[in-house]
Amino acid sequence: MFRDLGQMLLLLGNTVRGIPQAFRRRRAVGEQLYEIGNASLFMACMLSFFIGGVLALQGGAVLVHRGLGSQVGGLVGLSMCKELAPVMMAILIAGRIGSAMAAELGSMQAYQEVDALRTMNIHPIRYLVLPRLIAIAIALPALVIFSNIVGWLGGAFIASFNPDIAVPYATFMASLKDMVRMRDILHGLLKSFVFAIAIGTISCHHGLQTRGGPRGVGRSVTKAVTNSIVLVLLLDYILTRILLPFDA
């Protein structure tokens, strides 16, 4: 994986240099955004609801037992927006969108579509990678906002309806509003933006590196997904460590 790192940074650099042309690619960006939304919104909704629910269940039991039931909302709210929504959405997107990007670019490579672009002097990175990277960098943070809301609602729902916790909706939300600050939400969004760039770059890189014809596509997809997830978890630790002093 680390042997590829240099090439990935090069790919990212080349893409960034193409950003001035992003406006021309707005149609392609729109198409990518639509596909990402289409492929992930329902899953994101399910996932977030249950993550919020599980947080309420686990945390709620402990807190209620110690007479701290009124704090469940804050616990769910913070865990969701700072950690679980960004990481879980990133893993979902790596599996659902990273794989699709690697497969699509991989088959374009295998069927000589990328070579054809080069012979027409159409820069494959500007034409193929740029719109995908922009779309994922917009979509993942947006998905995290959505996930936060659904997760909070899921937590509130479980907290109020589970008889062992029985924290009313209003109490839950009051605690959430009290404990979750704007900067906590931004913390999560910033992480998810970095994750998005990582997933997009890795997936496009492995797609474009596809060798050995159509058979190579499967290998590229596997690499794209596993490397994305590993890097997301690694970056999560590093970013959390870096952002920690700003959280106080």
Partner 1 sequence: MNDPEPIQSQATGGLPISVRGLHMSFGAQEVLRGIDLEIKAGELFVLMGPSGSGKSVFLRQLIGLEQPTTGEVLVDGQSVTDETRHRARMAMVFQSGGLLNSLTVAENVGLYLREHRLRPPSEIARIVSEKLRLVQLPDDTSEKYPPELSGGMRKRVAIARALTMDPQLVLFDEPTSELDPLVALTVGREILRLNRQTQATTVVVTHDRDLAFGIAHRVAFLAEGRIQALGTPTEMRANPLPLLQQFLAADFTPQ
Residue numbers at the binding site for partner 1 (CB under 8 A): 108, 111-113, 115-122, 127
For partner 1, the closer of residues 1 and 122 by Cβ is: 122
Minimum CB–partner distance for residue 136 and partner 1 (Å): 17
Quick one: tokens of 131? 């719109």
Shortest distance (Å) from residue 111 CB to partner 1? 5
Q: Min. distance of Cβ 105 from partner 1 in angstroms?
A: 12
Which of 121, 237 has the CB closer to partner 1?
A: 121
**Minimal distance, residue 24 CB to partner 1, in Å:** 9
Query: Based on CB atoms, which residue is closest to partner 1, 7 or 112?
Result: 112
Query: What is the C-alpha radius of gyration for the chain, rounded to an integer number of angstroms?
Result: 20
Q: Which of residues 120 and 182 has its CB atom nearest to partner 1 in the complex?
A: 120
Q: How far is the CB of 40 from partner 1 (least distance, A)?
A: 20
To partner 1, the closest distance from the beta carbon of 193 in angstroms equals 27
For partner 1, the closer of residues 7 and 58 by Cβ is 7
- The nearer residue to partner 1, 34 or 161, going by C-beta atoms, is 34
Nearest to 80 by CA among 180, 222, 4, 194: 180
CB of 229 to partner 1, least distance (A): 27
Identity of the residue, 122 or 244, whose beta carbon is nearer to partner 1 in the bound complex: 122
The full 3-state SS of the chain, as one line of letters, equals CCCCHHHHHHHHHHHHHCHHHHHHHHHHHHHHHHHHHHHHHHHHHHHHHHHHHHHHHHHHHHHHHCCCHHHHHHHHHHHHHHHHHHHHHHHHHHHHHHHHHHHHHHHHHHCCHHHHHHHCCCCHHHHHHHHHHHHHHHHHHHHHHHHHHHHHHHHHHHHHHCCCCCCCHHHHHHHHHHHCCHHHHHHHHHHHHHHHHHHHHHHHHHHHCCCCCCHHHHHHHHHHHHHHHHHHHHHHHHHHHHHHHHHC
